[in-house]
Amino acid sequence: MTSDNFEWLYRGVTEVFPSQTDSQEESENLEQLCNRCDRPLRVKLGIDPTGTDLHLGHSIPFRKLRAFQDQGHTAVVIIGDFTAQIGDPTGKDKVRKQLSAEEVKQNAETYLQQLRPILDFDTPGRLEIRYNSEWLSKLDLAQIQELLATMTVQQMLAKEGFNNRYNQQTPIYLHEFLYPLMQGYDSVAVNADVELGGTDQKFNIAVGRDLQRHFGQKPQFGVLLPILIGTDGEQKMSKSLNNYVGLKEDALSMYSKLEKTPDALLPNYYELLTNFALTEIPENPREAQKLLAVEIISQYHGQEAALMAQKTALEIVSRQNMANAQAVPEFSLESVEFPAKLFYILNASGLVNSSGEGRRQIQGGSVRLEGDRISDVNITYDDPTQLKGKILQVGKKKFIRLV
């Protein structure tokens, strides 16, 4: 809890609120609270034990929670068992399906098991796991009325999700207004100083602040984290879109997905999913992909297993290439005078129609040797043994084996 530049706090964060400028009633911002406070802060993060296999997208707030733990603060993980057990009475909300106490317990355990690699479960005082049925099941009608009376219909309908549905005349059932209040009351029950969540949680976290104020507590800070784009580079990571990397996947399976991380996503993935210094990301995209994969896998399976997965993946590619060898046309290097530039070999072998095209293909990132992308236009080989037996490839469909 020493003074610092708060890189651990701000890395990858979309918003910390309130900031000191948000409101005149805030006497300090989160940095000041961190610096001033002589006790560990209570940092809340809620999960719905609805049987989800967690993926890297889910890991983001938990990684931030770990960062708080590493600063000496207490992670308070709230398991929303109460809501899961009552479900959605209308049956229309598939996320809110009703689960038995036994199912909830099993799901919660599976969930926590998946979080073991991310959170610090072992240092005393760093982790508190709470089930919200502890307090929600004890609320009576008078107390629920008190919660409801802290908010107006107009405030609820101003919330984006509700607002859209109200304007589209889609029915909004009254009990849906309870969910933000229940989540908010969790903050009261655990006396949270900070709540972490996705950017879609801002409203609910703000409701928690209102309720804490109502019950005489200092309102929590909200730390909002982005939603992760999936490995397709387009949509939110999700199991149903099959663009995900699951936390329970084995190292090799993770590697095979992560080594193909789209170039445009690399900075984002490094920032949100690793602690790697962002200034030291390899410039070569292929190298950056491989390193990213190893960095992420190391968190879940250890570095040794990560490197082993990398090696295995490479071998598999080689073996696949071997298997494909018979189908691949050969080009004899005997006709080439060494030392030889690669773009010359591309032209000589007929993969391209001119040395100029060869240069452009290298520049465009389309040329691979034994699966590794070549980006140095002037790469030169001194000796045919450097190339013999390898697959030279332009784009996805043109191959030759150098013999």
CA distance 24 to 186: 26
Which residue lies nearer to its own copies by CB, 129 or 151? 151
> In the β-sheet with 74-79, what is the strand arrangement from edge to edge?
15-17, 221-225, 194-198, 42-47, 74-79, 127-131
CB 183 within 8 A of CB 208: yes
Which residue lies nearer to its own copies by CB, 144 or 314? 144
CA distance 42 to 188: 11
The residues binding its own copies (CB under 8 A) are 82, 85-86, 88-90, 136-137, 139-142, 144-146, 148-154, 156-157, 162, 166, 169, 171-175, 177-178, 181-182
State the CB neighbour count (10 A cutoff) for residue 367. 27
Q: How far is the CB of 174 from its own copies (least distance, A)?
A: 4
Q: How far is the CB of 188 from its own copies (least distance, A)?
A: 14
Which residue lies nearer to its own copies by CB, 100 or 354? 100
State the CB neighbour count (10 A cutoff) for residue 398. 17
Q: How far is the CB of 178 from its own copies (least distance, A)?
A: 6
CA distance 349 to 330: 9
Q: How far is the CB of 173 from its own copies (least distance, A)?
A: 5
Which residue lies nearer to its own copies by CB, 93 or 120? 93
Q: Is 260 marked as binding a ligand?
A: no
C-alpha distances in Å from residue 275, one per residue of 206, 262, 295, 300, 350: 29, 19, 8, 14, 45
Pairing assessment for the beta strands 330-331 and 398-402 based on DSSP bridges: parallel
Q: How far is the CB of 136 from its own copies (least distance, A)?
A: 6
Which residue lies nearer to its own copies by CB, 162 or 244? 162
CA distance 56 to 268: 12
Per the annotation, binding residues are 239
Per the annotation, binding residues for ATP are 239
